[in-house]
Amino acid sequence: MGDMAVGANSGSPWSGRTVLITGAAGLLGGWIARDLLGSGASVLGLDNAWDGPRATIPPQGVERIDGDIRNTPLLRDLLSGRHVDTVIHLAAQTLVGPAIEDPVDTFSNNIEGSWSVLEACRSMSVRRIVVASSDKAYGDASGRPYREEMPLRPHHPYDTSKAVTDLLAQTYAYTYGLPVAITRCGNLYGGGDLNWSRIIPGTIRSVLQGDAPVIRSDGTFVRDYLYVRDAAAGVLALADAVGDRPEIAGTAFNFAAGVRLPVIDLVRRILTLMGSQFEPVVLGQPLKEIQDQRVSAARARRLLGWRPRATVESGLRETIDWYRSYLKPGA
């Protein structure tokens, strides 16, 4: 499996900056790191799961740091000792199922971890900070588009943990003047996601291994799927902007492709793109998740000039190609 080429770009606003990514072993963190390295930044990747089974493959050039975001002294040492300009806080327990099984662990990782990062940033005067919330923080809007001015009304542990993270970032912006903005992304997908319980990598791997893909739900749950490279571009656009435009501190930005699909339709698109004749196995298990989600990214388009570049088909094709290379025999 080849890695995307990275090289310095002296004309980039990121050239010469040092960026700390928490949760850098995750899908989004890996792609953000690639873009930053290609733009001439130095990247520190903090994670406690670099050697875990779901860790993405980091690009060459990331300085990998094993550590827990709840260790505030460690964070302060990193920020001060390495003259960090930007913090992109992605670290979280991101799986809905484990959050329901062990809410305390999820709350500790996502809520305590977030205030630890924000407090370290406050004490070290970091110039630009982005905190990852989630579209799940809105709760169930009965299919109405999520817009940033809507109240956050979560009901389940993961959703609540992200809503509290979101509110903490707003608190640090408004109370302490911290230059922090918030992302609320749709469902991310792309090459490098090794969490096989997720529908896109799980479906692709099943087909490549000669098995019919399995849908745990009844297949009717509707989501807005966002290609990870478009999400990475959005995070970096927001991080750059919040350092120069104090008026957007404390502001949340949705990032979404604007194309909603039921899970069953998404799986069938993947099967078609892979030339597979399999029919998905639908288990119909009840899930404590929001049935229908729609995300408006109008604010990001208007204030950041961000646009998703990938269509569903082009994003899925690139993703399938990545897994074909990664999972081929001898790879």
Report the catalytic residues. 158
Q: Which residues contact 86 (CB under 8 A, 6 or more apart)?
A: 17, 18, 19, 20, 126, 127, 128, 129, 130, 239, 243
The owner of tokens 């918030």 is: 182
Q: Spell out the residues 6+ positions from residue 32 whose beta carbon is closer than 8 angstroms to its own.
A: 21, 88, 90, 232, 235, 236
10: Cβ contacts below 8 Å, ≥ 6 apart: 40
Closest CA to 223 of 108, 135, 328: 135
Residue 232 near residue 24 (C-beta atoms within 8 A): no
Q: What type of residue is 224?
A: D
Are residues 2 and 33 in contact, defined by beta-carbon separation less than 8 angstroms? no
Cα dihedral: 36, 174, 95, 189 (round 10): -40
Q: How far apart are CA 165 and CA 171, in angstroms?
A: 10
Radius of gyration of the chain (CA): 19
